[in-house]
Amino acid sequence: MSDATTLLFANDAFYVAFAAGDLAAMDDLWSRRAPVTCLHPGWTPLFGRPAVLKSWRAILESGSLPKVRCENASAHIMGDVGYVICNETMPEGRLVATNLFHREDGRWRLVVHHAGPTSGPAEAPAAPAPAALQ
């Protein structure tokens, strides 16, 4: 399986945990080694695992979980760091997210999640101009 494919799987796992309200899976997804930051739409940034996971607990246990679907995801690799650009599609509208991952013991872990407004689908070119950096 290519690095891009495993990165997209990790990104999907984030949205599956989000949609399912699965806090244990969400906790497991975030990096334990890299400095993590989460920028929920319109919020101030949250720095470090304790603040980030506290926010996810509040969201996932709120009882009004957004019905979010990940669409138009593209993976971009730089060795052991990779990022995914994707849409977060909900009944209320569409957001765009940058999700940054770090590979730890062969597994992609989330380092930054930044979601916010967008004006259309996040469609990457079929063959991006710059090659992935290995």
Our finding on whether 8 is near a second copy (CB under 8 A) is no
Residues 6+ apart with CB under 8 A from 88: 15, 68, 69, 70, 94, 95, 96, 97, 115
Report if residue 122 touches a second copy, rule: CB under 8 A: yes
Closest approach, Cβ 20 to a second copy, in A, equals 26
Q: Does 126 bind a second copy (CB under 8 A)?
A: no
Stretch in the footprint of a second copy (CB under 8 A) among 13-21, 54-62, 63-71, 112-120:
112-120
Interaction of residue 9 with a second copy, rule CB under 8 A: no
Q: How far apart are CA 85 and CA 73, in angstroms?
A: 6
Handedness of CA 83, 59, 27, 2 (dihedral sign): negative
Is the CB of 13 or the CB of 34 nearer to a second copy?
Answer: 34
Element (H, E) at 108: strand 107-117
Alpha carbon separation from 24 to 28, 33, 60, 107, 114 (Å, rounded) = 6, 18, 11, 17, 21
Q: How many CB atoms lie within 10 A of CB 18?
A: 22
Q: Among residues 73, 76, 88, 110, which is the contact residue for a second copy, using CB under 8 A?
A: 76
Among 42, 63, 91, 106, binds a second copy (CB under 8 A): 42
54 part of the interface to a second copy, by CB under 8 A: no
Residues in contact with a second copy by CB under 8 A are 31-37, 39, 41-45, 47-50, 74, 76-81, 83, 85, 96, 98, 100, 102, 111-112, 114, 116-125, 128-133
